[in-house]
Amino acid sequence: MDRRAHRRGPRCRAGTVGGPDRRAQGRRDRGVIDLPDRHLAGSVRTPVGQVVVVAGPAGVSSIGFYDPPGCVPVDQRALQSVTDAVLDWFDDPTSLEGLPIDAPVSDFATAVRAALLEVPVGSTTTYGELARRLGRPTASRAVGRTVGANPVAIAIPCHRVVCSDGSPGGYAWGVERKLTLLHLEEHHRHRGGPS
């Protein structure tokens, strides 16, 4: 997929959304994430919409989709390696593995996140199955609320959770986007990418 059309966002009074064209800067080394020394926001245009990333010295605290692309203050250069990693995810859904996350949650939510990270790329699980994996088979609704409150889209793969009847269920950023993300991961798995 040619990503050039997805590189730049609209200009805003508060700053620039979208960031510089990476062709002029070269690509980052995969696996190298430079974190800023203070909390900053950056954004990148992806094949499924504008993504805004918030990160600080301890890690990434938020990755979210925003439609329509809004105006947010950004320091694009300070977060370039993080937004590059998000954009790389669309070619390789394993590219965010090991991304430091700085979004404090309860012990239960930490366990749910860990279980989500075990769901292979291109696969899905159900809320009930996640609850069983956690040793809490009656907690599927609590798992669902926790999955739905995930502030770090794609890095914590909440889009891989579907209903027990196989229907997609909900997604904070829209069911259509969830289905597209699942399709991208399935395509990656079928072309032999790592899972």
List the domains of the chain with CATH numbers: 4-89 (no CATH), 107-190 (1.10.10.10)
Catalytic residue numbers, as ranges: 158
Give the integer Cα–Cα distance in Å for 101 and 40.
14
The packing angle between helices 107-117 and 140-148, to 10°, is 80
Q: Of 163, 124, 157, which is closest to residue 144 (Cα–Cα)?
A: 163
DSSP assigned state of 131? H
What pLDDT is recorded for position 122? 93
pLDDT digits 0-9 by tens, 171-192: 988 999 999 999 999 998 888 7
Please compute the mean of the pLDDT values over residues 43-68 and round it to a whole number. Answer: 83
Is residue 157 within 8 Å of 117, Cβ to Cβ? yes
Neighbouring C-beta atoms of residue 66, cutoff 10 Å: 15
What pLDDT is recorded for position 64? 86
Q: Of 129, 119, 124, 130, which is closest to residue 179 (Cα–Cα)?
A: 124
What is the pTM (predicted TM-score) of this model?
A: 0.68
Q: What is the mean pLDDT of the chain?
A: 80
